[in-house]
Chains A and B, each alone.
Chain A
Amino acid sequence: MAVTDVPSQQTHGKIHPEELEEIWADAPGTPGFFSTIDHKRIGMRYIYTAFFFFFTSGLLALVMRDQLASPNNHVVGPEVYNQLMTMHGTTMIFLFNTPVLAGFGNYILPLQLGTRDMAFPRLNAFSYWIFVLSGIFFYASFLTGKAPDGGWFGYTPLTDKAFSPGINLDFWGLAIVFVGISTTVGAVNFIVTAFKMRAPGMTINRMPIFVWAILSMAFMVLFAVPAVTLAAALLELDRLFGTAFFIPHLGGNVLLYQHLFWFWGHPEVYILFVPATGMVSMIIPVMSRRPLAGYLWVATALIAIAFISFGVWVHHMFATGMPVQAMSFFAAVSLIVVLPSGVQFFAWIGTMWQGRVRFTTPMLFAIGFLLIFLLGGITGATLATMPFDWQVTDSYYVVAHFHYVLNGAVVFPIFGAIYYWYPKMSGRKLSERWGHISFWTMFIGFNMAFFGMHLLGFLGMPRRISTYPSGLGWDGLNMISTIGSFVFAVGTGITLVNWFHARWWGKEAGPDPWEADSLEWATTSPPPEFNFASIPVVASRHPLWDQRPLPTANPNGDEATKSLGPEGAEHHQTPETTGLDARPTATLDLPHPTYLPFLVACGIAVFFVGLLIQAVLVGIIGVAAFVVALTWWAWRTEVDLA
């Protein structure tokens, strides 16, 4: 690995980076692949794996759009269409959007905080392995020809054994429980890392907005994901073990499922959206060459969203016939949740207003995000208006709305983030010219594909239909939408090629290609395994703009500070700091590479396979492997020998 442009302060002392690299390096080849716990390798894997699912799921969507291009079409039948629809939705939410943001968080957070790894590196590896194994588990349904077909929301009683007797829905229900482990574990890791691992001097009001966003996301995950895990677990108990939580004629309640599902489902929208806004809040100030306007307002808004998002879930259930008075409360909260986004929006505008905007590719994606999210946010407010929602819920208007929010306002920032951070990750820049072309193709394709869907909703086209008759005025708009979706796909493909190209032939990026302000740009590109030989000391919200040269801390002999300098890196340590004012309080021994996270994850995977095929012995083997590996893991907290 090329270590060039090492900032001068990183090389002082007796220890050379080459020696440190030996201490921190993973084993080469396959053993290193399975045993690494380096947050950067894991973060990259998260991103690559998630993008694999993004493109797979995007292809499924293209088949659906092909089917809907014209009335009475026969590209796929209803059976396959329902499978495509279920796989597309579930994949995008659970296997792309959530994990790709976790991937960026994983990679960027420790660098931005100025530390050497996440708080729990082994747990980090574990959550990745769970994610990828649950993804394989879920897609095994495709390979066996038994893909789930109950919709990504899996409403009962349609998903009960009585109406979906096949194994298809078990793939879905178990995968939801399975992947939830990964998300939850990751959230705990993010929270502890953000509070306890910041560089000395990075008080909580100097934390980069991206970290605030990840923190807000992690707290939402912690409280929301258990609800969907519970919903899917109860569903599976009904399906596999004959309970009747959701079976009406046995005394179960089908709306209970919907409450549990949306108690997660709506915060989930913000779980995806908030980190995306965090990315935008990093990109816009850097590309406007000035600090973010209203830092405290934006940070407060991010936390406010996390709270308010838990009071809106019933707006997904306005048509279920609940009392109007009860629903009005949720309508009001659903309107209020607009406000924190309004605050962020004007902070971004204020930043650009006073800056000098550079139209780089990341900035273009941020601008695209602003223009798309503005519409998605407005249609979101209209959906909170209960009587109007009665009309448009479960119509194509909703499909348009949530693609503006979850595709436009999440995927666009993610693409911006690739152009922005990939130079840090690889040391090489993506082509700006092809970045511009990709952006414009995606932007035009996106609006062609999804704008007309608002109108289809007005013209009475319901969601989730596999075909439609002609003569209802839906034909032309559907054709435009299909063409747009292919244009959009080409745009994403251009970035994919650009990305591959940059990996090997991209221009050298140097440590700080964007003249940015946050700490990840203080180290080399790509960063060494230990991130920082000496931990920087922060005295500003924008250390790289205000503190030149960036000072590093020297150990002053006590236990709390001994890991700050290169000696800390040499001993495989990193400092722990206080939650609010980031004073060093202790020294943490970072674990060494280990297979245990992989083994524990495999144990869990075997257990889920046992449940799926209803083989008790397989289940027992899985649990046994899990317990043994976990015990071993717990045993080896102090010393790592692998």
Chain B
Amino acid sequence: MRRRLWFGLVVVLLLALVACSTKQSPAITDPKSTEAHTISGTWWLMCGLASAVYLVVGGLIVVALFRGRRKGGPTPFRIRDNTFIVVGGLIIPAAILLVLGAQVVHASNNLRQPEKNPLHIEVVGKRWWWAVSYPDQGITTANEVHIPVGRPIEIGLDSDNVIHSFWVPQLGGKVDLIPGQHNIWRLKATKSGTFRGECAEFCGLQHARMNFLVVAQPAATFDQWLVRHQLPPSGPDNQLAATGQMIFMREPCSGCHTIRGTTADGTIGPDLTDVGSRLALGANTIPNTDGYLSGWIVDSQSIKPGNLMPPIPMSSSDLQAVVAYLRSLK
């Protein structure tokens, strides 16, 4: 009876898991880079070994529990205690650990090695968003990292405040952003797609809302993106957006945000040069739509309490104009 209950419980759990692991999960078992592939492979190797060990040792425990309860008591054990302990607890685990050890050496020697002609990207962890720049191309953006598939990439990671950690589960392991230390993460994406990235080191109040997106594109598409973003955005193409630009420059906005090609050159908040083309706002907290953007401008504190942007009171016509302007920046 009890065993049947257990069996049922396990089945239910497994079903729940299958139901839960949707395609949208940023899962490490869904690798999209060379590093993520190697690590995922390491995992499946370990998963096999671990399952075997659990089943064998767990089985031994169960047999040991019930063996002595048979009629006539325990039959004598032919293996000596110490032999059993040394073989089971020392020699066999040591052999398994050697396999793991070899895999560690093999994997860590091959991963994160410098390669020729890398694309340099700089990421600086802020509270609580990510400043992203392409120093060789003179592009600055935020919370969105565009990378080409197949080309080696070097992401320099820094922080001017607390420790953060850069993690894109489908692209590989974490690297911390540590104030006073310059870390580099090297990777090569193998598939295109948009991948969720997260801050993985506790960094204070809004640690949960410090996410980002990595957009991996085929080389040609990425080059187009580069070319388009190297130029400053063209001026507003309609009256509403032009009004919005004027208001943006007049209001406190430009003190904190930069928009290339304009007088807005603040550095406290994210660079907004291409904000209109971004997939999300507030470090992947809300979608990038007119409505959400207005809400963020007027009272970002209710969306992401504690962030550095104060509420900006505006008349609804002004707000509409500013939103139109920002959404036109692509």
Contacts and interface: CB of A to CB of B under 8 A. Distances in A.
Q: Is B a genuine binding partner of A?
A: yes
Interface of A: 77-79, 82, 151, 155, 157-158, 163-164, 248-249, 252-255, 288, 293-294, 297, 319-321, 324, 327-328, 331-332, 335-336, 338-339, 342-347, 349-350, 352-357, 367, 370-371, 374-375, 378-379, 381-382, 384-395, 444, 448, 451-452, 455, 457-460, 462-468, 471-477, 480
26 contacts: A157-B179, A158-B162, A158-B163, A248-B179, A293-B85, A297-B85, A336-B97, A339-B97, A343-B85, A343-B89, A346-B88, A347-B89, A349-B64, A352-B68, A353-B67, A353-B68, A355-B68, A371-B61, A374-B54, A385-B46, A385-B104, A388-B46, A459-B27, A460-B26, A460-B167, A465-B207
Given A382-B50, A460-B28, A471-B24, A342 B89 contact: yes
Nearest to B179: A248
B317 to A, nearest CB: 32
A624 B206 CA distance: 44
A466 B207 contact: yes
Given A163-B161, A342-B93, A388-B42, A158 B77 contact: no
A356 B77 CA distance: 13
Contact of B181 (A255, A342, A385): A255
B61 A382 contact: no
Contacts of B68: 288, 352-357
Nearest to A162: B161
B202 interface: yes
Most chain B CB atoms below 10 A, which of A248, A338, A350: A350
Given A352-B61, A452-B17, A464-B207, A293 B107 contact: no
Nearest to B81: A293
A321 B90 contact: no
4 closest A-B pairs (Cβ-Cβ)?
A390-B173, A248-B180, A460-B26, A346-B89
Nearest to A370: B61
B207 A319 contact: no
Contact of A350 (B81, B97, B100, B174): B81
A452 B16 CA distance: 10
Interface in B162-214: 162-163, 165, 167, 169-170, 172-176, 178-181, 183-184, 196, 198-209
Contacts of B178: 254-255, 320-321
Given A253-B180, A391-B172, A77 B305 contact: yes
Contact of A158 (B112, B173, B203, B209): B203
Interface residues of B, number: 94
B202 A342 contact: no
Contacts of B204: 82, 158, 163-164
B114 to A, nearest CB: 13
Contact of B24 (A387, A468, A473): A473
Contacts of B46: 381-382, 385, 388
B63 to A, nearest CB: 7
Contacts of B162: 155, 157-158, 163
A338 B35 CA distance: 27
Contact of B176 (A249, A319, A342, A352): A319
Most chain B CB atoms below 10 A, which of A379, A381, A448: A381
A328 B61 contact: no
Contact of A375 (B19, B42, B54, B165): B54
A391 B169 contact: yes
Given A77-B305, A328-B105, A381-B50, 14 more contacts: A293-B85, A321-B181, A331-B101, A335-B100, A347-B89, A349-B60, A381-B97, A382-B50, A390-B172, A391-B174, A393-B174, A452-B16, A457-B28, A459-B169
Interface in B206-243: 206-209
Contacts of A288: 68
Contact of B180 (A249, A319, A339, A342): A249
A19 to B, nearest CB: 46
Nearest to A257: B163
Nearest to B57: A374
Given A78-B208, A294-B81, A354-B68, A319 B173 contact: yes
A459 B200 contact: no
A319 B9 contact: no
Contacts of B50: 378-379, 381-382
Contact of A344 (B89, B173, B175, B206): B89
Nearest to A317: B176
B38 interface: yes
Nearest to B36: A391
B120 to A, nearest CB: 17
A371 B57 CA distance: 9
